[in-house]
Structure 1
Amino acid sequence: MHAPQGDSADVVNLADHAADLIERLRVRQPRVHCITNAVAQNLTANVLLAVGALPSMTIARSEVTAFATRADALLVNLGTFDPERRAAADAAIATIRSAARPWILDPVLIDRSPPRAAYAHTLLAHRPSAIRMNAAEFTELCGEASPQTFAREQRTVVAITGETDLVTDGDRTFRIANGHPLMARVTAMGCAESALVAATLAVQPDPLKAVASALLIFGIAGDIAGETANGPGTFGVHILDALFNLDRATILARAKVTS
């Protein structure tokens, strides 16, 4: 078992914030509208349900505004880059921003597709509350800027996930070492993690704490799932169970956090 590592009060307290958030999600049951990858929808919905959030997934232009109006937070994931999803994303972002509610951008595979990279750059003007991406996607979106510089300039929270996750708002930074290698062997794990970030943004007014807590919660659930899974197939089931059963004591005991 591990205790939070580091000297700052924020690092020491992040596990406490995460424990509070998992309890708050179950009580508040925020609505999260997800415009996401076609292969990610099932796992994403189940991850949200496992922590108590209420997912919706429609991309129909005739109704997406109505769903976004009722949502407490929005996920825009570029994993399936088709005209229908782009139109839905534009409408949903306009709606969620007019209500001053949070939204997260997940710029999936922009490092492999110039058109989706260009679209991701246009979305920055709509001020996402957070951006979750891997290192290659970060380089494509941000160029040579450091995560801290980019986060500060864009007034957003940057989360770069990998073996150790980095989360920063430009002034404060967390590094989270929880997680399991099997997470990379199950499709849509990152997409589902972004949806969890959207859920925490809906119930935590400090975006940095919301994003870092979500990644910590998801990483700890991955640790637990990996201890009993026989491979990718059972891992996908076990991580849902781990999220559903996660409690304060487990979060405090397992958190691996540094500044």
Structure 2
Amino acid sequence: MTTPMPAFDSGIAADLLERLRRKAPRVHCITNAVAQHFTANVLLALGAIPSMTIAPEEVAAFAAGADALLVNLGMLDDTRRAAIPKAVEAAKAAVKPFVLDPVFVNRSPVRCSYAQELLTASPTVLRANRDELAALYPGQDSFEAFAGTSVTLAMTGAEDMVAGPGGTLRLANGHPLLARVTATGCAGGAVIAAFLSVSDDPVQAAAAALTVFNVAGEMAAERARGPGTLVPELLDALYLIDAPQIADRLKRI
């Protein structure tokens, strides 16, 4: 996808963060058991409200009443398989944004096939790394695969790229220590969902979410002694991060 760069700067990120804190959106998260606790705390620290039920008999009501939905495939058991279609259908009917995070589809053909089915529901944002995208779109340029669709792609890694109808953004914030704590990536998907609830522009929302989360990760890593102390420092950084810190640290490529 080689369209012009869309508008994005630290002011946009800070404005969306302030909107999120004022609105306190509820994000319903269908995520894996390893990530649930940390994801909930990340959302709370940021100013959002998590809900986490995966019970098929009630998940539709939770998803329809939430401000955004996260579908994370990090643990694809029978209960989640039954809950995900109900949640997606309810969110779409209520015109609520949803994020698809196809965790480890490159490790499991069954999971990859399921994620490809979910893509037909046109998630607002697909958050994935290069290996996951290569599995979802074998033999294709994943950015070209999204051309002409309504889906925004947030490709994460050492550098992040956000691509949508308005163009492609390249971002370079973050810290290697984030990869030493489980569920940071999964929680990042929930942060994208939270930002989608306060913006009509999915590219700007995804870019703002990645910026805020990764800048907070940098701030936390500077104070942490290792992975064990990174987690509380990250939660504090998400709670305290402000516009000047975002402006000072934002790295666009």
Q: Could you tell me which residue of structure 2 aligns to residue 253 of structure 1? A: 248
Q: Could you tell me which residue of structure 1 aligns to residue 17 of structure 2? A: 22
Where in structure 2 are there 5+ consecutive unaligned residues? Answer: none
2:98 to 103, 109, 112: 103
Alpha-carbon RMSD across the aligned residues, in angstroms, is 1.4
Equivalents in 2 of 1:253, 1:84: separation in Å?
A: 44
Q: Could you tell me which residue of structure 2 aligns to residue 62 of structure 1? A: 57
Deviation of residue 171 (structure 1)? 4.2
Q: Could you tell me which residue of structure 2 aligns to residue 73 of structure 1? A: 68
Q: Could you tell me which residue of structure 2 aligns to residue 176 of structure 1? A: 171
Equivalents in 1 of 2:166, 2:20: separation in Å?
A: 26
Letter in 1 for 2:35: A
Q: For 1:188-232, what per-residue CA distance to the aligned partner results, in whole angstroms no more than 9, with x for missing partners?
A: 000000000000001111011000110011110111011011111
Question: Per the alignment, in what secondary structure is the counterpart of residue 132 of structure 1?
Answer: strand
Q: Could you tell me which residue of structure 2 aligns to residue 4 of structure 1? A: none
Say whether residues 1:141 and 2:136 are aligned partners. yes
Say whether residues 1:161 and 2:153 are aligned partners. no
Q: Could you tell me which residue of structure 2 aligns to residue 88 of structure 1? A: 83
Q: 1:8 to 1:109 in 2, by over 3 A?
A: closer
TM-score (norm 1): 0.93
Deviation of residue 8 (structure 1)? 6.1
Deviation of residue 66 (structure 1)? 1.5
Letter in 1 for 2:245: T
Question: Per the alignment, in what secondary structure is the counterpart of residue 257 of structure 1?
Answer: coil
Q: Could you tell me which residue of structure 2 aligns to residue 113 of structure 1? A: 108
Letter in 1 for 2:164: D
Deviation of residue 133 (structure 1)? 0.8
Equivalents in 2 of 1:65, 1:167: separation in Å?
A: 29
Question: Per the alignment, in what secondary structure is the counterpart of residue 47 of structure 2?
Answer: coil
Q: For 1:130-153, what per-residue CA distance to the aligned partner results, in whole angstroms no more than 9, with x for missing partners?
A: 011111001001223334312224
Equivalents in 2 of 1:157, 1:135: separation in Å?
A: 15
Q: Could you tell me which residue of structure 2 aligns to residue 124 of structure 1? A: 119
Question: Per the alignment, in what secondary structure is the counterpart of residue 209 of structure 2?
Answer: helix
Letter in 2 for 1:176: L
Contact 2:6 2:166 in 1 (8 A): no
1:34 to 29, 32, 51: 29
**Per residue, is there more helix in 1 or in 2?**
1
Equivalents in 2 of 1:154, 1:161: separation in Å?
A: 20
Please identify runs of 4+ aligned residues in structure 1 that moved more than 6 A. none
Equivalents in 2 of 1:151, 1:19: separation in Å?
A: 28
Q: Could you tell me which residue of structure 2 aligns to residue 3 of structure 1? A: none
Question: Per the alignment, in what secondary structure is the counterpart of residue 197 of structure 1?
Answer: helix
- Over the matched positions of the two proteins, sequence identity in percent amounts to 50
Contact 2:152 2:164 in 1 (8 A): yes
Where in structure 1 are there 5+ consecutive unaligned residues? Answer: 1-6
Equivalents in 2 of 1:150, 1:233: separation in Å?
A: 39
Q: Could you tell me which residue of structure 2 aligns to residue 242 of structure 1? A: 237
Equivalents in 1 of 2:54, 2:204: separation in Å?
A: 29
Letter in 1 for 2:237: A
Q: Could you tell me which residue of structure 2 aligns to residue 185 of structure 1? A: 180
Question: Per the alignment, in what secondary structure is the counterpart of residue 146 of structure 2?
Answer: helix
Equivalents in 2 of 1:151, 1:49: separation in Å?
A: 32
